[in-house]
């Protein structure tokens, strides 16, 4: 670009010099001729002088433009010719050769999508949700808390009026499962060992006692072993083996310190009054003479209520002690919604009817063939 400008300047200067030489040439003696030829030569000289003036003016304009700025096409820099400015001391010095920034075409410009406006994961600044999203989240949280509070209040009201509903649902499902398992056990025939032993026992009560002992040895914690019915209060539940926390969550449980019905001694059964289907909620309504029916796989037992008593929770002996006759004891916490005391209902055995393996028609055997262990157990 500089070479082209220099070449144009040289051409202009040459033309100016040529005009100057024409105008500076000494006038030769006027040839002899007519006045019209003299006027013609004068006009041509005036035209050449005007042409020279125009050329000089054009050269001056080009020189002025060249002096104003030069563009360096290779470095893409704008060079301004003129006095250098001294920057103020309070501001940083501006570059004397600022760069020319080439912006993309308008068609290439694109606004970022909202999903692209995110901070990088390494920035450490947590992204904030839009105000509308935060409002919806707080509203959902408030509705959830109100719903939870309402359900808790409803659960408390239902527990006071009836029983705790959530644990009742769990125990209901467990009772259905246990009832099916107990039905299969009731229908199962005695094993070969049991049949052989029963054939050596001649008395019905001793056969029932043998089957009761066998079932108590084989039953695991929480397994179904009996059905209890209390007509006075409308209670009907599957009874499990044991009184552990998990066992009583499934239904009433037989104290492991006591014996199964059919064996001389005390059979004690514990149950909840406000939770886990509350099987013994209304045993405080039982009166003397009310019946309690206990159905075992080997026999059906009928007990008659003879009394009840409130004892401290540490007085386990009152519930499990042997008193010289077969009896049933029901145990539950009292008062309602408290474990401060224990309510005991006492019932005496009134009737026994053999069932299942206990009623098999077996041949009578002489007393010498009866096992010695069963001879020591009175009916």
Return the pLDDT at 108. 56
CB of 310 closer than 8 Å to CB of 342: yes
Mean pLDDT lowest for which of 17-21, 24-28, 114-118, 192-196?
A: 24-28
Return the pLDDT at 28. 46
CB of 369 closer than 8 Å to CB of 195: no
- For residue 340, CA distances in Å to 122, 296, 332, 343 come to 60, 32, 11, 10
CA angle 306, 311, 316 (to 5 degrees): 95
Q: Is the pLDDT of residue 375 over 80?
A: no
% the chain with pLDDT above 90: 45
Average pLDDT, the chain: 77
Residue range(s) of every CATH 2.40.260.10 domain in the chain: 165-375
CATH class of 165-375: mainly beta
What does pTM read for this prediction?
Answer: 0.57
Q: Is the pLDDT of residue 284 over 60?
A: yes
Mean pLDDT lowest for which of 127-136, 212-221, 235-244?
A: 127-136
Return the pLDDT at 104. 55
DSSP codes joined into one string, 213-245: HHHHHHPPTT-EEEEEEETTTTEEEEEEE--SH
Average pLDDT over residues 40-45: 73
Please write the tens of the pLDDT for every residue from 24-40: 444 444 444 456 676 67
Return the pLDDT at 376. 41
Return the pLDDT at 362. 53
Give the residue with greater pLDDT, 14 vs 330.
330
Please write the tens of the pLDDT for every residue from 302-342: 999 999 999 999 999 999 999 999 999 999 999 998 999 99
| Phi-psi region at 44: left, alpha or beta (left = phi > 0; alpha = psi -120 to 50) | alpha
Q: Is the pLDDT of residue 182 over 80?
A: yes
3-state secondary structure of 305: strand
Average pLDDT over residues 123-136: 63
Query: Sorting pLDDT into bands at 50, 70 and 90, what band is 378?
Result: very low
């Amino acid at each position: 670009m500089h070479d082209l400008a220099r070449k144009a300047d040289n051409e202009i200067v040459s033309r100016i010099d040529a005009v100057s030489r024409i105008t500076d040439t000494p006038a030769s003696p006027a040839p002899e001729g007519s006045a019209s030829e003299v006027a013609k030569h004068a006009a041509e000289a005036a035209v050449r002088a005007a042409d020279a003036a125009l050329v000089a003016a054009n050269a001056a304009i080009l020189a002025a433009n060249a002096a104003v700025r030069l563009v360096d096409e290779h470095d893409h820099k704008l060079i301004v010719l003129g006095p250098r400015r001294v920057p103020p001391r309070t501001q940083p010095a501006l570059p004397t050769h600022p760069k020319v920034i080439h912006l993309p075409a308008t068609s290439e410009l694109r606004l970022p999508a909202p999903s692209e406006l995110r901070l990088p994961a390494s920035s450490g600044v947590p992204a904030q949700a839009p105000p509308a999203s935060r409002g919806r989240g707080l509203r959902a949280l408030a509705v959830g808390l109100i719903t939870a509070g309402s359900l808790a209040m409803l659960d408390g009201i239902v527990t006071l009026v009836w029983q705790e509903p959530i644990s009742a649902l769990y125990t209901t499902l467990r009772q259905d499962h246990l009832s099916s398992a107990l039905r299969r056990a009731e229908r199962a025939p005695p094993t070969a060992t049991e049949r052989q032993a029963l054939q050596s026992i001649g008395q019905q009560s001793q056969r029932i006692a043998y089957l009761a002992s066998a079932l108590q040895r084989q039953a695991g914690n929480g397994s179904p072993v009996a059905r209890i019915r209390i007509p006075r209060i409308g209670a009907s539940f599957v009874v499990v083996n044991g009184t552990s926390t998990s066992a009583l969550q499934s239904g009433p449980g037989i104290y492991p310190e006591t014996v199964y019905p059919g064996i001389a001694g005390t059979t004690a059964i514990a149950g909840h009054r406000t939770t886990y289907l509350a099987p013994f909620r209304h045993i405080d309504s039982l009166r003397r003479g009310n019946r309690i029916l206990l159905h075992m796989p080997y026999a059906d037992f009928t007990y008659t209520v003879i009394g009840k008593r409130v004892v401290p929770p540490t007085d386990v002996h009152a519930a499990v002690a042997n008193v010289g006759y077969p009896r049933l004891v029901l145990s539950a916490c009292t008062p309602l919604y408290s474990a401060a005391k224990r309510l005991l209902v006492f019932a005496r055995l009134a009737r026994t009817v053999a069932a299942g393996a206990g009623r098999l028609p077996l041949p009578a055997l002489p007393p010498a063939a009866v096992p010695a262990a069963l001879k020591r157990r009175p009916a």
